[in-house]
């Protein structure tokens, strides 16, 4: 079955919409971060925050920053969603939301248990648009965004719905900040993935929204998805990348593609020793040093449950607007020679085509997810 992303939008530190984000990412802008020394005592942390004023929500149970971010990216898609309801009916449009934080920050002050529920943003979208079909929030740490697409694909293929609103969203929250601090991987300087001088991650916040439909002639094609689990460690990926490699191969097989068909890889690229080693081994094993790849997290920060969402939106924008440039890999240029070599995108390099992108996401607990997207031939 042909399943496509027909509309999409996003918001993060790089811009208020996907067009602004695309332009800044293509330039390699890694400067839109703030230093914060108020959340963790005696610790500076570098955070990618959204500064714009967000839409108001009057319903107390839904009035959390997470949902205001959701509303911000969905409002520009309102006309499209109304057309979907007219076309398919409110009982044939599903919702799949990827998040890890939801309203956990607000819950500390309000004690409203609904604010802490992972299902809150999915329920909010359902109520906001008056939908009465399948809705779900998924939380598999940093792989959540691709998992939401996997759910969307499955419920369309099984004729539960005809279209799905897919959202990836996470605001900055104290719990993950303290969690990553306890792992000693937060840094007050720029994240530096695949560098010998890497020193940790920068966190960010983001929201991305997508309309996913079946049998549409135009749009970005969801060509294949690969999902596996390491069962290796709670927070550390298998350094050999065995299940990551298997996830890539599953996605390639479902897409009916070979490694040389991929034009660009958006890396998970967190800038930690464990991720860099695993991901470099997996990419080198499947693709060698041929396929250009980059991590966009040095520009957006690691947005947790929204990480894959913002990166998929970036891949969609690249497929729609490609003019010879790919997103550059922003780091100090000192590649860690202890890692297998992969081809990182340079700012000045030009490319002949970008018709197929692969997006990598890896979550705590060994959750591996790979999404392959293709440009429409229409």
pLDDT score recorded for residue 38: 85
Question: Is residue 120 within 8 Å of 64, Cβ to Cβ?
Answer: yes
Which of 142, 303, 316, 359 is flagged as catalytic?
142
303 given a catalytic annotation: no
The reported pLDDT for the residue numbered 208 is 98
Strands 356-363 and 203-204: unpaired
Catalytic residue among 11, 302, 316, 359: 302
Task: Return the pLDDT at 378.
Answer: 55
Q: Does domain 3-214 have CATH number 3.40.47.10?
A: yes
Question: Which residues of the chain does CATH 3.40.47.10 include?
Answer: 3-214, 220-374
pLDDT for res 293: 98
Q: Stretch 2-24: mean pLDDT, rounded?
A: 98
Q: What is the DSSP letter of 218?
A: S
Q: Is pLDDT above 90 for 377? A: no
What values do phi and psi take at 71, rounded to 5? -65, -35
In the set 268, 303, 316, 354, the catalytic residue is: 268
Mean pLDDT of the chain: 96
As beta bridge partners, residue 209 has 9, 167
Q: Judge whether 284 and 267 are in contact, CB under 8 Å.
A: no
Q: Provide the whole-model pTM.
A: 0.97
> In what helix (H) or strand (E) does residue 355 lie, and over which residues does it extend?
none
- Burial call 34-50: b when 16+ CB within 10 Å, e when fewer: eebeeeeeeeebbbbbb
Map tokens 């240029």 to a residue.
333
Segment 186-193 shows an average pLDDT of 95
Whether 302 sits among the annotated catalytic residues: the reply is yes
CA 206 to CA 50: how far, in whole Å?
A: 7
The tens digit of pLDDT for each residue in 228-248 reads: 999 888 778 888 999 999 999
Chain segment 41-75, per-residue pLDDT in tens: 888 999 999 999 999 999 999 999 999 999 999 99
What is the token pair recorded at 224? 């294949």
142 part of the active site: yes
DSSP state of 298: H
Fold of 220-374: Peroxisomal Thiolase; Chain A, domain 1 (3.40.47)
Whether 376 has a pLDDT exceeding 90, the answer reads no
Structural contact between residues 177 and 186, judged by C-beta atoms closer than 8 angstroms: yes
Tell me phi and psi for residue 166, to 5 degrees.
-105, 130
Q: How far apart are CA 301 and CA 150, in angstroms?
A: 24
| Structure tokens, 37 | 């020394």
- Interstrand relation of 356-363 and 206-214 (parallel, antiparallel or unpaired): unpaired
Nearest CA-CA partner of 69 in 134, 153, 13: 13
Q: How far apart are CA 341 and CA 303, in angstroms?
A: 26
């Amino acid at each position: 079955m042909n399943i496509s992303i027909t509309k999409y939008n996003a918001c993060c530190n790089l811009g208020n919409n996907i067009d602004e984000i695309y332009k800044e990412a293509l330039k390699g802008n890694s400067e839109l971060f703030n230093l914060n020394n108020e959340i963790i005592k005696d610790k500076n942390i570098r955070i990618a925050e959204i500064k714009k004023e967000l839409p108001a929500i009057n319903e107390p149970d839904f009035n959390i920053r997470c949902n205001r971010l959701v509303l911000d990216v969905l409002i520009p898609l309102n006309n499209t969603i109304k057309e979907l309801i007219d076309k398919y009916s409110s009982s044939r449009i599903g919702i799949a939301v990827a998040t890890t934080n939801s309203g956990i920050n607000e819950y500390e002050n309000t004690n409203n248990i609904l604010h802490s529920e992972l299902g809150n943003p999915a329920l909010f979208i359902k109520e906001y648009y008056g939908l009465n079909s399948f809705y779900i929030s998924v939380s598999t740490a940093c792989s959540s965004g691709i998992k939401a697409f996997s759910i969307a694909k499955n419920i369309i293929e099984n004729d539960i719905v005809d279209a799905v609103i897919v959202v990836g969203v996470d605001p900055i929250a104290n719990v993950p900040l303290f969690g990553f601090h306890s792992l000693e991987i937060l840094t007050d300087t720029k994240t530096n993935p695949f560098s010998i001088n890497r020193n940790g991650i920068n966190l960010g916040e983001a929201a991305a929204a997508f309309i996913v439909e079946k049998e549409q002639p135009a749009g970005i094609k969801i060509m294949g998805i690969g999902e596996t689990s390491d069962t290796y460690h709670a927070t550390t990926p298998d350094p050999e990348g065995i299940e990551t490699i298997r996830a890539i191969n599953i996605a390639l097989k479902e897409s009916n593609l070979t490694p040389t068909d991929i034009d660009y890889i958006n890396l998970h690229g967190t800038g930690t020793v464990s991720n860099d080693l695993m991901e470099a081994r997996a990419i080198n094993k499947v693709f060698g040093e041929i396929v250009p790849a980059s991590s966009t997290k040095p520009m957006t920060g690691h947005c947790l449950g929204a990480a894959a969402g913002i990166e998929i939106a970036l891949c969609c924008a690249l497929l729609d607007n490609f003019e010879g440039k790919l997103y550059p890999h922003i780091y100090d240029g000192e590649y860690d020679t202890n890692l297998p070599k992969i081809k990182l995108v340079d700012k000045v390099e030009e490319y002949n085509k970008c018709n197929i992108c692969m997006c990598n996401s890896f979550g705590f607990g060994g959750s591996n997810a790979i999404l392959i997207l293709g440009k429409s031939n229409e």
